[in-house]
Amino acid sequence: MFAKEVHSRNGLVVLINKERLGVKMWEEVFDYVILGDVDKWTREMVNYWNEKRPDDWSNAVKVDSKTLNSYKLMEQVDLSDTKV
């Protein structure tokens, strides 16, 4: 459904996956399939973007890895005991 919405707005849908999709039906969902590791591809794209359009990054907040690791990204909460 998300891909249909993207296509309705003239957008492209890209899948980054380590393995080929074995099902034909996905060919009409994705405009491009990139075979590879999504983390590596993302880092490469960010570096490429930064190189080609550095002004896009001028207001970006830079956070070092030590600070980033100190943040608690998500706390798991058990909602099974919550009364509605």
Could you state, in order of their start, the residue ranges of all structural domains in the chain? 2-59
Each residue of 9-62: pLDDT tens digit? Answer: 999 999 998 888 888 888 889 999 889 988 888 888 888 888 888 888 777 666
Which element (helix H / strand E) includes 35?
strand 32-35
DSSP string, 63-75: --HHHHHHS----
Each residue of 35-47: pLDDT tens digit? Answer: 998 888 888 888 8
CA 77 to chain centre: 25
Work out the average pLDDT over 62-68.
65
Q: Give yes or no for residue 72 having a pLDDT over 60.
A: no
Please give the model's pTM, rounded to 2 decimal places: 0.55
Q: Give yes or no for residue 82 having a pLDDT over 50.
A: no
pLDDT at 75: 47
